[in-house]
A and B are shown apart, each in its own frame.
Chain A
Amino acid sequence: MDSIFDIFLLEAVLNGVLLGGLLALLSLGLNLIFGVIDVVWICYAELVMIGMYGIWWLHTQQGLPLPLAMVISISMVAACGVLLHQYVVSPVLSAEPINQLLVTGGVLFFLQAFATVLFGVEFRNVGFRMPSLNLGDMSFSGARLVAFGVAVAAIGGMWWFLRNTYLGTAIRAISQDRGVMPLMGVNARQIYTLTSALGGGFAGLAACLLVLQYDVHPAIGLTFGPLTFLICVLGGLGNLIGGLVAAFVFAQFISVGGFFLQLEWGYVIAFVFFIAVMFWKPEGLLSKRR
């Protein structure tokens, strides 16, 4: 009887939930951009990376207190989001979607190289240690718990914003019907700018949470970038709730798969699952649009 209930399996499942919160936050930003502007920022993970470097640099190199460094970084990445949209995405908005993917792909290389030139390829750590929470034989990293909590709060905040504010409603409306919105008196450009800032801001927030748990290096975007896209596509590109569900599903595959087999196999299983679902339901698990 007791062999069925493996405490470490439970730990993996719960860690999966914690991971899911973080992935959900990442997918939220990307889904927002896609839902409103209809563009996939392939360089999204690299924006997170820039945020992480920003925090590291401000805190360890310039001596700023960590919370201040985080706030500045979030603003910086939000600004980057706006710039990205303004100068890189806008010019190709009317071109084929593949061009939009490619142009943000160029930014991906650019940001990676930028970070390499500025900071080198070594792994950088913010040096912040949090205590672990111990429940019986299970141990949960404090940083992970905090990340989960903040992610859930941010998602909740975003939810409230979308439901209860004028701008939030405008955002939801645009993602439903882009063509009609200007006729309704909404300044589409303004909404795009705001959405880019929000997307960037979420990337910055994710950076804050990630920097507590992981070292940053120029290629770190490659570790969770593809994962984030796949989560969004799985949940239905542009579908915020779908992204959340998909994030938790993916996280479970990664965590439990990694528990039974080696770490990478968890990712492999998750990705194969993605490919399989694509064939079953190409528009995503929960997508309303097609």
Chain B
Amino acid sequence: MNLRHFSVLLLVVVVLIPWAGLGKYPLHLMVMAALWGYIYTSWAIMGRLGMVSFGHGAFLGVGAYSVVLCWNLWGLSPWIGALIGVVATVVLAVIIGYPCFRFKIVGHYFALVTLALSEVVRLVIVALREQTGGSLGITPKSALGGGESYSLMALQFDSKLVWFYIMLAFWLMALWVWHQVDRSMTRLALQAISDEEDAAASVGIPVNRSKLQVTVLSAVMTCIGGVLYAQYQLYISPETVSGISISLQMVFGAIAGGMFILLGPTFGAVFLLILSEGLRILVGNDIHGVDQLIYGLLLVLFIIFMPEGILGGLLKRLKAQPAQSGQQSLAQRS
């Protein structure tokens, strides 16, 4: 069977696994894997095209806090809150993106400016502590008081199973978006731009508009990731959904898996989850920070030795083998 059949089969397995009687905790892990896979993929849609942003925490945070604040403060359904969040994200992405691209702010200047943005969002959240609870975080008010197990209007679901399928759906959607961008003119345009921007512009490629399109797309997807996170986890704080830490985590997750491949960021999400959970089992809950220690070390090692990520490295190795055997037989003949 070929790759496509295999992936469909794998997908069916993944969809059906929860029915095999998984406990709450493994199911939670799967939910998290799907969610972070979605979020990292959203980041990588932009990252792989030469726009490495260190500020996606801004969009994640805007999404998460929009839904929770709209619900807690004004009783607005998260559907509306999400919409408000998306609009705010688009505005933010354009405010940052347009001048950046217009003034050719690229590379690490771009990374640092986006970092500033994520910190601005975090600081604003903390500063508005009356409304947001500041560093202590905030929880959406429960709409499930009367014994119901879900509320569609409040977007709260008791069942992790339901959440798993929601996250899975979004994850698949992200993969589809990635695929669409991949096939589009915009992607070719952006690759041309990241190779040689002036030449691309001279051929008539609308540089700024292409970059902005992908930026807004990536930002909005991340924002929705924030919405999902808030509604599932039911607790958010400025440090976990915005700021430099989570922004760097997204970058690392996507890169560790391999940001140039479709499933790379997802792989990175799974990898990071296995890492942190595995370490927690090995080391126990008493010693905080050991997983971050390994995580940091791995990031360093990855960037030095395997910048194309785990999946990318694997694929490279697989592709290299036929060439080697071809060369060997050539050598034997001569």
Contacts and interface: CB of A to CB of B under 8 A. Distances in A.
B108 A98 contact: yes
A265 B129 CA distance: 11
Interface in B240-271: 243-245, 248, 251-252, 255
Interface in B258-317: 287-293, 295-304, 307
A226 B300 contact: no
Interface stretch (B17-25, B119-127, B211-219): B119-127
B300 A98 contact: no
Contact of B105 (A99, A120, A278): A278
A101 B123 contact: no
B74 interface: no
A98 B111 contact: yes
Nearest to A117: B289
Interface in B93-139: 96, 99-100, 103-105, 107-109, 111-113, 115-117, 119-120, 123-124, 126-127
A233 B109 contact: yes
Interface stretch (A146-154, A192-200, A266-274): A266-274
Nearest to A111: B296
28 contacts: A40-B108, A88-B304, A97-B107, A101-B111, A102-B251, A102-B252, A106-B298, A106-B301, A107-B296, A108-B296, A109-B248, A109-B292, A110-B297, A110-B300, A112-B296, A113-B292, A116-B289, A117-B288, A229-B115, A233-B113, A263-B127, A268-B123, A272-B120, A275-B117, A275-B120, A282-B104, A282-B105, A282-B109
Contacts of A272: 120
Interface of A: 40, 88, 91-92, 95-103, 105-114, 116-117, 120-121, 218, 222, 225-226, 229-230, 233, 237, 262-265, 267-268, 271-272, 274-275, 278-279, 282
Given A98-B111, A233-B112, A282-B109, A107 B292 contact: no
A103 B127 contact: no
Given A91-B304, A117-B288, A226-B119, A105 B112 contact: no
A112 B127 contact: no
B33 interface: no
Contacts of B124: 264, 268
A222 B126 CA distance: 14
A251 to B, nearest CB: 16
Interface of B: 52, 54, 96, 99-100, 103-105, 107-109, 111-113, 115-117, 119-120, 123-124, 126-127, 243-245, 248, 251-252, 255, 287-293, 295-304, 307
Contacts of A225: 244
Contact of A109 (B287, B295, B303): B295
B107 A114 contact: no
Most B CB within 10 A of own CB, among A101, A120, A222:
A101
Given A95-B307, A275-B96, A230 B289 contact: no
